[in-house]
């Protein structure tokens, strides 16, 4: 299933999960990540493949 353009990522349904300074939200097939200290600031948006690569890279250091 095709996902909407990242620029159209709908944050109104997002349920943000916090882990220290970072918050993450899973909405449909996209993942948003933001600074918990600045919830109205910019949001990085990943598709599932990008998120998997990001997490794998973080685990590898």
The pLDDT tens digits for 42-58 are 889 999 999 999 999 99
Residues spanned by the domain of 45: 14-60
pLDDT in tens, 23-45: 999 988 889 999 999 988 888 99
Residue 8 lies in a domain: no
The rounded distance, in Å, linking the Cα atoms of 24 and 43 is 9
Give domain status of residue 2, yes or no: no
In a domain, 39, yes or no: yes
pLDDT of residue 51: 95
pLDDT of residue 37: 95
Identify the band that residue 7 occupies on the pLDDT scale cut at 50, 70 and 90.
low
On whether the CB atoms of residues 30 and 3 are closer than 8 A, the answer is: yes
Residue 13 is predicted with a pLDDT of 80
CA distance 18 to 37: 11
- Residue with the two structure tokens 């353009």: 5
The answer to whether 46 and 33 have CB atoms below 8 angstroms apart is yes
Please count the structural domains in the chain: 1
Let me know if residue 4 belongs to a domain.
no
pLDDT at 6 over 60: no
């Amino acid at each position: 299933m095709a996902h909407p353009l990242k620029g159209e990522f709908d944050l109104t349904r997002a349920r943000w999960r916090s882990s220290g300074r970072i918050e993450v939200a899973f909405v449909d097939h996209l993942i948003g990540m933001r600074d918990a200290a600045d919830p109205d600031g910019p949001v990085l948006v990943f598709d599932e493949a990008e998120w998997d690569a990001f997490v794998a890279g973080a685990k590898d250091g």
